[in-house]
Amino acid sequence: MSPEESPRAGRLAPETRPDALPTHAADGTDLTLIRWMLSLDHKERFQVLQSGARSLALLLDARPQR
């Protein structure tokens, strides 16, 4: 079944269908990541940021000391 034939396709305005939205801005910004982050509530956003901070801390702790 193609996206145009799916049941949801008829309910969404053409300009808001996922396949109709641009994925990148002219300056190269990934708009899909911005849309994804904005789709989360404040608690989910915080969890994503906390996870990134923990990953960065692990990487910094694992690097060789000079």
Cα distance between residue 14 and residue 21, in whole Å:
9
pTM of the predicted model, to two decimals?
0.56
At 33-64, the pLDDT tens digits run: 999 999 999 999 999 999 999 999 999 999 88
At 13-23, the pLDDT tens digits run: 555 665 678 89
Q: Measured on CA atoms in the order 8, 13, 17, 20, is the torsion positive or negative?
A: positive
